[in-house]
Amino acid sequence: MSETAGAAGVGPMSHAIFRVARLHKSLAGRLLRETGLHPGQELTLMTLWVDGPQRQVDLAAAIDSDAPTMARSLARLERDGLVRRTRSDSDRRVVLVEATEASLACRPKVEAAWQELERLTVGSLSPQQQAGIAQDLRLLESNLEPLDP
Does residue number 47 form part of the binding site for its own copies (CB under 8 A)?
Answer: yes
Among 23, 75, 102, 105, binds its own copies (CB under 8 A): 23
> How many residues bind its own copies, per CB under 8 A?
58
The alpha carbon dihedral of 23, 71, 55, 52 has a sign of negative
Find the binding residues for DNA in span 37-96 (CB under 7 A). 38-41, 55-57, 65-69, 71-76, 85, 91-96
Q: Could you give the C-alpha distances from 143 to 24, 59, 63, 103, 148, in angstroms and in order?
A: 21, 24, 19, 37, 10
112 is in the binding site of which of its own copies, DNA, none (Cβ under 5 to 8 A by kind)?
Answer: none
Helix axes 41-51, 107-122, angle to 10 degrees: 110
CB of 93: closest distance to DNA in angstroms? 4
Cα 56 to Cα 66: distance, rounded to the nearest angstrom = 10
Closest by CA position to 74, among listed 88, 60, 64: 60
Closest by CA position to 82, among listed 115, 113, 118, 47: 47
Cα 59 to Cα 53: distance, rounded to the nearest angstrom = 9
| Sequence-separated (6 or more) residues with CB below 8 Å from residue 52 | 98
3 is in the binding site of which of DNA, its own copies, none (Cβ under 5 to 8 A by kind)?
Answer: none
CB of 131: closest distance to DNA in angstroms? 27
Measured from the CB atom, is 22 or 72 closer to its own copies? 22
Does residue number 50 form part of the binding site for its own copies (CB under 8 A)?
Answer: yes
What residues line the site for its own copies (CB under 8 A)?
Answer: 5-7, 9-14, 16-28, 30, 43, 46-47, 50-51, 62-64, 111, 114-115, 117-118, 120-122, 124-125, 129-130, 132-134, 136-141, 143-145, 147-149
